[in-house]
Structure 1
Amino acid sequence: MQAIRGIIGYALRRAQLSVFDDLIQTLEEFHLRPANFSVLYVINENPGLNQSEISSALGIQKTNFVQVVDRLEKAELIKRCRAKHDRRSHALYLTDKGAELFYKAREQHKQHEKRMIERLGPNGREQLLPLLWRLTSE
């Protein structure tokens, strides 16, 4: 069993499961999944981005992203508007209801982040994030 603990992919997956378990519990009271929260977060920070830009930024396949957007729109958390520069695409915005829910969820998300930082210990976040980003193609 010890040998598998030295495999990067295995360690990353175990860490991801642990972090997501805490995040899922954190967002549960808002009826949000991590992907939905991420979409709301990006829209809040970048109102008016189109669906392709957001799906690309989050690494969500376009076909899956359409389903996420449909659910968020049906829940009246976001709205689609024709993009000003490209009438074929839709710009996304939070609704008032979406903004209110996002801000409440973000406050709880801050507590989640605090718990993860505490687990990492002093300077753990500052060490971990650059290493994780090195593993991505970005």
Structure 2
Amino acid sequence: MGQSLERREQDLSILRLMYAVSLRIGDEMQRLSEARLSHVEILALSLINTSPGLSQSDLGTGLNRSPVYVSRMVDELEKADLVERRPHKLDRRRKVLHLSEEGQALFQKMRDRAIELAAEVFRETPAERLKIMSVQSKRIADRLHLVTAGRFVA
């Protein structure tokens, strides 16, 4: 049968804390971008940096955003000279996304700050506990993706 009310409240409390941590990190990254970027745009830069040559469709999937939203966002990032649309190597009709030089520089600045924050936050956390937290966080992210799959936000 269903979980107890106490367990459901505990689960919700954990998700709230994870959300608060995410927002706090996003706010710090936004500060580094001099408030030019939204939290979603910052995540987009991260995804493009991790997978250069990413399609807009794949970016939308990674961001859980609609194709229209992603297209407009990429237009803005391109105007800000942070992202470049380049021709696909095999399909001339398709464009793929890469960070521009300015986008790479900004992303590196944000990444360096995130590494500093992580080092300070986890300074007293034993390596074994970090490993467990990493595995559990990945499991939570994967499960959340499955539970919400197909529900695009704006």
Task: Show the counterpart of 1:20.
Answer: 22
Question: Once the 2 structures are TM-superposed, how far is the Cα of residue 134 of structure 1 from its aligned partner?
Answer: 5.2
Q: 1:64 to 1:115 in 2, by over 3 A?
A: farther
Contact 2:27 2:39 in 1 (8 A): no
Task: Show the counterpart of 1:39.
Answer: 44
Among 74, 87, 102, the residue aligned to 2:107: 102
Q: 1:90 to 1:127 in 2, by over 3 A?
A: closer
Matches within 5 A, 1:106-117: 106-114=111-119, 117=122
Runs of 5+ consecutive residues of structure 2 not aligned to the other structure = 150-154
Q: Residues 21-58 of structure 1, C-alpha deviation per residue, up to 9 Å, x if partnerless? A: 31133112213333222211222222112111222233
Among 101, 113, 126, the residue aligned to 2:134: 126
SS in 2 for 1:85: coil
Contact 1:23 1:109 in 2 (8 A): yes
Contact 1:23 1:34 in 2 (8 A): no
Q: Supply the distance in 1 between the matched residues of 2:135 and 2:115 (Cα, whole angstroms).
A: 19
Among 51, 58, 73, the residue aligned to 1:68: 73
Letter in 1 for 2:140: L
Runs of 5+ consecutive residues of structure 1 not aligned to the other structure = none
> What is the TM-score of this pair, normalised by structure 1?
0.77
Q: Does 1:29 align with 2:37?
A: no
Q: Supply the distance in 1 between the matched residues of 2:24 and 2:48 (Cα, whole angstroms).
A: 23
Percent identity of paired positions between Structure 1 and Structure 2: 24
Q: 1:131 to 1:53 in 2, by over 3 A?
A: closer
What is the number of equivalent residue pairs in this alignment? 135
